[in-house]
Structure 1
Amino acid sequence: MASGKKKKYSKRLIIGWREWVTLPEFGGLQMKAKIDSGARTSSLHAFHIREMLIDGAPWVSFDIHPFQNNRHHAHACLAQVIDRRKVRSSNGKQEMRYVIESTLSLGGDSWPVEITLANRDEMGFRLLLGRTALRKRFLIHCGRSYLVSVPPASH
């Protein structure tokens, strides 16, 4: 490896294959996220998705279950729609999904991330962070978890 590349990569924070992240625009909600470099797009578990117009722009209101294995605690969210895209899910099926943008905080850094809304009720993680959200920010240690985050006090 060229010395320039080694230096460039050595400045990146190493994160685990799962981490706790914060979504400040949704009331500072903390969620466990699966870090998935095999997925291009990030995906958030959402249900009761309702499209609406606010000042002529498309928005969605939706609910999320922020914690794994807990369908009792629901959190209401509102976000502007930035796109609708066909996304191929892990089971190979394509579906149209709303795309929103939200700030995401992890490892002391915050940045805007595009997130698709999907029913991930059957999936283990309520939030999947794809490689587009992670690009040029982190290196992933696939054998470790929670290298830069701790669970919220109430969880």
Structure 2
Amino acid sequence: MKFLGSLVLATALTLPAATAFADETEKAEPPVPETLGFVEWVVMNDTGIRLKARLDTGAKTSSLHAVNVEEFTRDSEDWVKFQLPLGDHEDQPSEGEIEHEDVIIEFERPVYRKVLIKRKGAPSQRRYVVKMEFCIAGTKHETQFSLTDRGNFSYPVLLGRRFMRDDNILIDSAESFIAQRECEFNTLEQIAKQAD
């Protein structure tokens, strides 16, 4: 009789531990990957600029269209300032009051690192890398962007493998603009007012 009571008590004491272990196991499961097309819209968080982005598994680091890139020092740290001319890629929705060529956005960011890019058939190029927040498929992210002039490319933003790995993204290379959710963005006129 006493033995049975002890057995019941021992079982009751072990149940919470088993439940806790089950909860930890469930939390450890990775999130379900999100599938996006090889081209999607991104919105740069601090400005509301909407840009076309190519998701490229051939690139490790993401890159962002930038011109007039200049390094400077702030509080003994390396910073970089650069411009994003909206006339180079006329993707920003407009109410027709302002031309894309009239809007140039200026950014200042701490230098995260510098990279030397080896290019086939061209001299190597040193690029600044900054961290920037953006929204894609209704979700905010932060990743490293190398700054380079992408004015001659179809897409001002290229998202590389580091972003895809860190944020659990899969790519459907046969589709574009398949994101189920959208990000809020500003019109060209709203962006021009912010820049003033």
Q: Normalising by structure 1, what TM-score?
A: 0.81
The SS at the match of 1:39 is coil
Between Structure 1 and Structure 2, the one with more helix by share is: 2
Per the alignment, residue 87 of structure 1 pairs with: 117
1:144 aligns with 2:175: yes
Number of equivalences: 147
Per the alignment, residue 33 of structure 2 pairs with: 12
Q: Normalising by structure 2, what TM-score?
A: 0.66
Gaps of 5+ in 2: 1-28, 91-99, 189-196
* % identical equivalent positions: 24
Deviation at 1:28, TM superposition (A): 2.5
How do residues 3-152 of structure 1 correspond to structure 2 at under 5 angstroms? 11-25=32-46, 27-66=47-86, 69-70=89-90, 72=101, 73-89=103-119, 93-135=123-165, 136-148=167-179
Between Structure 1 and Structure 2, the one with more strand by share is: 1
Deviation at 1:77, TM superposition (A): 1.0
Equivalent residue letter for 1:144: E
1:29-79 CA deviation, whole Å, 9 max, x = no partner?
221111111111111111011111111111111101346544713211111
Question: Partners of 1:91 and 1:35 in 2: how far apart?
Answer: 24
Question: Partners of 2:164 and 2:67 in 1: how far apart?
Answer: 25
1:84-135 CA deviation, whole Å, 9 max, x = no partner?
1112347665311001001122123222200000111111111111111111
Q: Is the 8 A contact 1:15 1:138 kept in 2?
A: yes
Gaps of 5+ in 1: 1-6
Question: Partners of 1:105 and 1:141 in 2: how far apart?
Answer: 19
CA distance 1:52–1:24, change in 2 (3 Å): same
Q: CA RMSD in A?
A: 2.6
Equivalent residue letter for 1:123: F
Higher relative contact order (CA 8 A, sep 6+): 1
Q: Is the 8 A contact 2:117 2:127 kept in 1?
A: yes
Equivalent residue letter for 2:150: R
Q: Is the 8 A contact 2:130 2:144 kept in 1?
A: yes
Question: Partners of 2:149 and 2:37 in 1: how far apart?
Answer: 24
Q: Is the 8 A contact 1:66 1:126 kept in 2?
A: no
